[in-house]
Amino acid sequence: MNDFIFASYYPHCIADYFVMSVTERLFCYAEPFSFLFSEQGCAIKMLPAAYEHGDEDIFMMDVIKCQLNPRRKIYGEGVDLSLLNESVGHEVLAFHQKFPDYCVTPLRSLPHLSTRLGLGSIHVKDESQRFGLNAFKGLGGSYAVGKYLAEKLGQNINTLSFSSLNSPEIKARIKDIVFVTATDGNHGRGVAWAAEQLGLQAVVYMPKGSSLIRAQNIRHHGAECSITELNYDDTVRLANKMAQEKGWVLLQDTAWQGYEQIPTWIMQGYMTLAIEAWEQLTKSGAPLPTHLILQAGVGSFAGSIMSYFLEKMKARAPKIIIVEPHKANCLYRSSVVNDGQPHSVGGDMATLMAGLACGEPNITSWPMIRDYASCFISADDSLAANGMRILASPRPGTDAPFISGESGAIGTGLLYELMSREDYRGIIEALQLNTDSHVLLISTEGDTSPDIYEDIVWFGRNG
């Protein structure tokens, strides 16, 4: 163990020098600062462990900020994951298979990219073809609608079919139900679509700055949709207020104290994606993942997918890397503060990755992520843009191109950045990313905002 002295170089530092003991851990934490070390033991990043909203501009020169999880536990020693085990997942899958539009979405292999990056393999689950919605979110919304209606009707969801829900007798009993939610686009569209399948009403609120085309896509399914002047988390509070005042059913994809059942159903709904990916890997003879990179907003999606793989693989489970936008990095910040509690981000959280612009962690998924994630990464928007271009335009004759949107491609952009720059050697060694690694990524959306997609892929926006 060696001691290193580092001069502080931000104007609001409380001392001129800090002395820290450096262990083998890549990311060392010391109140009130966190230091990121290179493999030579040199500090290459320094930032406050907890800083107020508005300080982000100080740190935006950092493309990647990484925090190895100081609270990570081995499988079985952390929070219980039985709500997201394999038997629950197969119940969810059976429900989704009853929808006429159900089909298994592609799992795309990228052998050329994996060779170029010095990895064993890369697979990307492409959710742009899910239910014709161009994103995975319909899985959660539809299952939550199904579970809610099953309970209201006194039935088991295993016996509830799409055709029975559309029978005249059942429709007469549920016709006055109105679902309400807040969304950046994809979740709201999934809820609107699920309600449309059953002839029910949906009301959707969107945060300030939301894409007009995403709002139009929601209205296309018969929902009432409006864009507010609020950030995402305040828009969630608005949806909750309207549900209470009007007797609507809040169908939100994040949980808080006293509102946990429906968000849990939504998380369970996402498990169809994980089961499909598992079966596609095993049936093709591909190696099981050693690394799982999951993008996160409130953490519902990440908690769901990682829990399935943890329950399935147990001690052999992959290393789980959580990635968020710099301006909405509530899980990263929660890990840096390191008190075991979720911590929030305020402000408008303006990021290219609109689907991840969430400032308050889901209290159900946070303990799962806190206990089992390998590391937390806060990433610049440019990585999402690079990921979109990489997937859209591989070298001719190599990997097949496909469309991935801003929130869908961040995992690819992050992986490319990590494996392509000497600056990050310490991170990739700590995460054991090498030629024996098999990485699974999830492209959660396609071009849900085509104009933005073209600006990025065709014209180099956020380059």
**Residues sharing a CB contact under 8 Å with residue 318, sequence separation 6 or more, in sequence order:** 288, 289, 290, 291, 292, 309, 440
Q: Is-contact 372 391, C-beta < 8 A?
A: no
Name the residue with tokens 């309600």: 195
Residue among 372, 370, 375, 382 at smallest CA distance from 429: 375
How far, CA to CA in Å, does 323 sit from each of 111, 179, 262, 331, 456?
23, 30, 25, 9, 20
- Phi, psi dihedral angles at 126 (to 5 degrees): -100, 105
Give the residue numbers annotated as catalytic, written as ranges.
Answer: 137, 184
Residue among 367, 145, 364, 148 at smallest CA distance from 256: 364
Residue among 363, 187, 104, 99 at smallest CA distance from 205: 187
Q: In angstroms, how far is CA 222 from the centroid of its own chain? A: 27
Residue among 81, 77, 57, 66 at smallest CA distance from 28: 66
Q: Is-contact 147 160, C-beta < 8 A?
A: no
Q: In angstroms, how far is CA 10 from the centroid of its own chain? A: 31
Token pair in block for residue 179: 């679902």
* Length of the chain (residues): 463
